[in-house]
């Protein structure tokens, strides 16, 4: 009996020690890094987790006005790192030095889509300097649009594929986009006026306070623009969507049909919302890991 108790105690101790060691290794892997971007006059920051050097690294981009600490982004980063994939999750500055907090609709917005995409490219170059030869871009929500626009504007052999999650578009009358606001912004840009005004943009319904340049850079991401861009991608991609995502359900289920018409591999998580909340977080993690492995094997 004493031998049995002793053996069980040793097993319990070893398992506990292994679990503590595993947690400590995971914690050590997370590192806050910075990147000076002279073209923007700003320093950006990201969370970097090292992984298996034989595998590609995943650069994960958060959604509109949020940060790399958003729960969906954190879950994706952890899931990939758990299977040995290194991850880099930057917080796009949105014109704010080393931004750490989400930005409200009512804040002053001077940032543009083009600047955000330039930051993604700066992080791609940073990863290459760390020795990463293959990079997979991963986006959530409007972060998927950011990486789609990256593919439209940049061509880097190190970026081998992409994963879009909760992919949607930003502009259209069905989303509340105002033709009068667009005309005002275009006239303001034409006359070199930078006066702030409140616009309708995504969930900022009439309270997106921005320059006309900022507003116009995002509203050009219409439904047609997104689908045509996805049709013309020269690299393999996967798109993971929640089956109960209210953002596309509000404009009709045929958004999924539009996505199917492109070259992307469409994966639907039944029951999940736009953020893959609650138990669907684990479904997203599983589908993401599966998608990354398939893209690696291509």
| pLDDT tens for each residue of 236-286 | 999 999 999 998 888 866 999 999 999 999 999 999 999 999 999 999 999
- Please give the chain's pLDDT, 298 residues, in tens: 333 333 344 334 444 444 434 444 444 368 999 999 988 899 999 999 999 999 999 999 999 999 999 999 999 999 999 999 999 999 999 999 999 999 999 999 999 999 999 999 999 999 999 999 999 999 999 999 999 999 999 999 999 999 999 999 999 999 999 999 999 999 999 999 989 999 999 889 999 999 999 999 999 999 999 999 999 999 999 999 999 999 888 886 699 999 999 999 999 999 999 999 999 999 999 999 999 998 887 7
Same domain flag for 207 and 258:
no
Judge if 189 and 250 occupy the same domain.
Answer: no
Alpha-carbon dihedral angle through residues 216, 35, 167, 242, given to the nearest 10 degrees: -140
* Closest CA relative to residue 119, chosen from 88, 141, 140, 165: 88
Distance separating alpha carbons of residues 295 and 170, to the nearest angstrom: 27
* 16 within domain boundaries: no
Both 68 and 213 in one domain: the answer is no
Same domain, 203 and 270: no
Q: Is residue 248 domain-shared with residue 142, that is, in the same domain?
A: yes
Count of CA atoms in the C-beta half-sphere (13 A) of 133: 5
Those residues with Cβ within 8 angstroms of residue 187's Cβ, 6 or more apart along the chain or in another chain: none
> Range of 187's domain?
172-220
Has residue 163 been placed in a domain? yes
Could you tell me if 77 and 111 lie in one domain? Answer: yes
Between CA 10 and CA 239 the distance in angstroms is: 47
Domain count, the chain: 2
């Amino acid at each position: 009996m004493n031998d049995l108790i002793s053996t069980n105690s040793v097993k319990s101790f070893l398992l506990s020690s292994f679990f503590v060691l595993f947690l400590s290794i995971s914690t050590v892997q997370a590192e806050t890094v910075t990147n000076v971007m002279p073209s923007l006059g700003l320093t950006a920051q990201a969370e970097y987790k090292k992984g298996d050097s034989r595998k590609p690294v995943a650069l994960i981009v958060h959604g509109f006005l949020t940060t790399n600490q958003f729960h969906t982004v954190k879950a994706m980063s952890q899931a990939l790192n758990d299977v040995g994939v290194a991850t880099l999750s930057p917080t796009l500055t949105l014109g704010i030095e080393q931004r750490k907090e989400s930005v409200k609709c009512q804040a002053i917005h001077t940032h543009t889509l083009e600047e955000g995409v330039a930051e993604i490219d700066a992080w791609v170059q940073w990863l290459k300097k760390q020795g990463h030869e293959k990079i997979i871009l991963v986006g959530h929500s409007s972060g998927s649009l950011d990486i789609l626009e990256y593919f439209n504007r940049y061509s880097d052999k190190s970026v081998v594929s992409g994963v879009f999650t909760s992919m949607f578009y930003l502009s259209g009358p069905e989303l509340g986009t105002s033709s009068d606001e667009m005309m005002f912004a275009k006239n303001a840009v034409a006359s070199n006026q930078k006066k702030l005004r409140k616009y309708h943009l995504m969930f900022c319904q009439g309270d997106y306070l921005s320059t006309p340049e900022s507003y116009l850079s995002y509203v050009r991401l219409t439904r047609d623009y997104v689908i045509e861009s996805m049709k013309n991608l020269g690299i393999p991609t996967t798109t993971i969507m929640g089956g109960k995502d209210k953002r596309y359900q509000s404009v009709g289920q045929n958004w999924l049909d539009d996505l199917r018409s492109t070259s992307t591999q469409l994966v639907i998580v039944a029951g999940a919302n736009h953020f893959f909340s609650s138990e669907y977080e684990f479904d997203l993690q599983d589908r993401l890991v599966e998608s990354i492995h398939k893209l690696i094997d291509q």
